[in-house]
Chain A
Amino acid sequence: MNDMSARPRYDKQGERTDAERAAAATSTFVREVGRDAALYLESCIHCGNCAEACQFYLATGEAKYTPIWKLEPLKQAYKREVGPFSWIYRTLGLKHAVTAPQLEEWQELLYDSCTMCGRCTLACPMGIDIAGLVGLARKGMFKAGLAPAELVAVAERAEREGSPLGATPKVLRERLEWLSDEHDVPMRLDAPRADVLVTLSSIEIMKYPDALVATARILEQAGASWTITSAGYEATNFGMLSGNVDWQRKMTMKLIDAAIACSAKVVLLPECGHAYSALRWQGAEMLGKPLPFRVLHISEFLAENLASGKIKVRPLDKTVAFHDPCQVSRRGGATRAPREVLAALGMALLETEDSGDLSFCCGGGGGVIANSRADALRYGAFEIKMKQIDATGAELAVTSCANCRQTFDDGAAHFHWGREMGSLVELVADRLAARPAAGP
């Protein structure tokens, strides 16, 4: 067990009084509560089972990391202000108003020690969607100016420049031109019309450009009509992760508008977990009506096209462990797709002890990787996953999320792990069958 409680763990944005911060958080908490959230906030039986699913609790043994405890200010505000018996609580003084010092204390619990992986829901006998409630609570924290400074800075940059890592349209164009020349593959940018709009993760653009090349190669072999557009390419959504709904909407609408502009039938999401949540499951809510196109994670696209024979691969006789990105598998429902891809490659999948919907997070989701003050906590969480991957004895390890890859790279360096977390899309691209020679 590590002692990770030495330094205060909160940041503040803006100049406001404590009362103003508390009021902003409280009003956002109660405004954002809908029927599902109200039901969940009424239903907890304080059994503590959720702790046993949370790798931050498992890594530290500290009771404060019990998932439902992370929601205490939200529960308090809900029950006091708008719950069915709020008038009793207020009249008899049974619930105090949420205070700024309390929210400051909870900042670490809501941001540093929760990746919103949702594993706790599977251990909850009441089935409470705790990760969803953490997302709701973060909205209140952001409004109160009480979010981690680094996460806010990344989200602000994404809002200002269109990318959290500086992958501006100019950088994107230069990057794609370089990749196209270097790898002799067309990187189609700003085609006026295309069936498939390819979106990207800044992490891939800046850190894992091979994933872009791999995606292009696969699309070319599938014979797809595709494009990347400089008007909307960034799939990551730090507005959602930080709790700023306005920024979340703005980032999502860029993609939706770009897809509509080029008449895309499919928006292809990159290897990124939260991008899948943001567009596949929340995009239509941002637009206010059903999306006029399909949204596919790259692993789903691969599975579909391998099954239909549009993509052909050479088998690979190796064992492989797959790390499920939480937002694609457990919280996204696309758990089978990567397994179908690995099966199509003829690889022997060696599942981790907890796999698929029960898989442990890498520890860096939910913006935790972008928040360096949480590093010690994150390494504790990562270690659990690292040991499970090792225990499979698999020759290769792959995932379908660049954020997870980044977390694995950082964790591997920290622990001198000696393994590398690979990319599913790069693995498939490496095994593409040669295209039949053109006829005479």
Chain B
Amino acid sequence: MTLLEFARGPALTFALVVFALGIFWRLAGIYRFPARKELSAPRRDVRSGGALRAIASRMWQPRTFRERTLVGTLNAYAYHLGLAIVFFGFVPHIAFVERLTGLSWPALPGWVFIAGVAMVFVGMLYALLARLTSPVLRLLSNFDDYASWVVTILPMVTGMALVHLSLDARYPAVPEVPLAVAVHLLSLELLLVWLPFGKLSHAFLVFFSRATTGAAFARKGEVL
């Protein structure tokens, strides 16, 4: 078995299983706790609306906080958007998903992909520097923060070994540089394995957390 076959076969299966089970385990580990009984009379019976509203409204900071948080917020948007462009808008990545699920969609133009790559590298570098230099962020940061940064940037770094390839051509089943592709895929699998255990799980927890607060505040009457 070649390294590429390993990465595409058992390693990928393992990563996807850990990813799925890890998310399930984490959510189940939260939802096994008893829910608080809400016995007080609600001011407004709008829990669902409050939950949905909070999921949307928390996408952006209230005006009063923007002056002090704007750069960090914009930067986070930049590298999150960049990651989405790189993963979902690039031909080989779409082909990868298609092989797994049968789903495919049109790719983004090459220049958009390049812009996405730049947004990820610049944004994540800025995020790391901010974490290392801000007294608040340095105090809050632990192994999870730095490990999550590394496993997120790794697929980008290993992907750079393949940038000499055409941006919008489909690739043969056996790539020209199998070792680089294998390493790239393994780095993605590391990300999948890590995601459920650390802070990267905000990718799904964000909806639950915002919705919980939004629903609680809505029944009290506040619009979060």
Contact = CB atoms under 8 A, between A and B. Distances in A.
Interface of A: 33-40, 42-49, 51-53, 57, 63-64, 66, 68-69, 83-85, 88, 121-129, 280-285, 287-291, 294-295, 330-335, 353-354, 357-358
Given A69-B140, A123-B69, A128-B213, A291 B222 contact: no
Contacts of A295: 41
Nearest to B24: A84
A129 B216 CA distance: 10
Interface stretch (B58-66, B91-99, B152-160, B175-183): B58-66
Nearest to B218: A333
A125 B41 CA distance: 28
Could you tell me the dominant secondary structure of chain B's interface residues?
helix
**Which one of B28, B33, B39, B136 has the greatest number of beta carbons of chain A within 10 Å?**
B136
Given A35-B34, A128-B209, A280 B40 contact: yes
Contacts of A285: 36-37, 39-40
Given A53-B65, A125-B58, A358-B64, A35 B221 contact: no
Nearest to B44: A333
Given A127-B54, A282-B40, A333-B217, A39 B212 contact: yes
- Residue among B30, B142, B205, B223 with most chain A CB within 10 A: B30
Given A46-B199, A291-B39, 9 more contacts: A36-B216, A43-B209, A45-B199, A46-B142, A52-B65, A121-B224, A126-B58, A128-B209, A333-B221
A34 B28 contact: no
Given A63-B139, A283-B40, A126 B202 contact: yes
Contacts of A57: 136
B39 A294 contact: no
Contacts of B29: 38, 83-85
B126 interface: no
Given A36-B216, A330-B222, A49 B65 contact: yes
B103 interface: no
Interface in B4-39: 25-26, 28-31, 33-37, 39
Contacts of B31: 35
B69 A52 contact: yes
A47 B72 contact: yes
- Ranked nearest first, the 8 interchain pairs of A and B with the lowest CB-CB distance are A84-B29, A333-B221, A333-B220, A284-B39, A127-B213, A43-B209, A127-B210, A63-B135
Contacts of A43: 202, 205-206, 208-209
Nearest to B139: A63
In this complex, the member of A34, A38, A43, A294 whose beta carbon has the largest number of chain B beta carbons within 10 angstroms is A43
B170 interface: no
Contacts of A46: 137, 140-142, 144-145, 199
14 contacts: A36-B212, A43-B202, A48-B140, A49-B69, A52-B69, A83-B29, A84-B28, A85-B26, A126-B58, A129-B213, A291-B39, A331-B220, A333-B222, A358-B62
B2 interface: no
Contact of A36 (B36, B40, B41, B140): B36
Nearest to A287: B39
A66 B210 contact: no
Contacts of B214: 127
Contacts of B40: 280-285, 290-291
A316 B38 CA distance: 41
A432 B62 CA distance: 38
A23 to B, nearest CB: 21
Contacts of A281: 40, 220
A330 B61 CA distance: 16
B48 interface: no
A330 B37 CA distance: 21
B140 A294 contact: no
Contacts of B41: 284, 290-291, 294-295
Interface string B33-57: 1111101110100000000001000
Given A43-B209, A334-B221, A35 B30 contact: yes
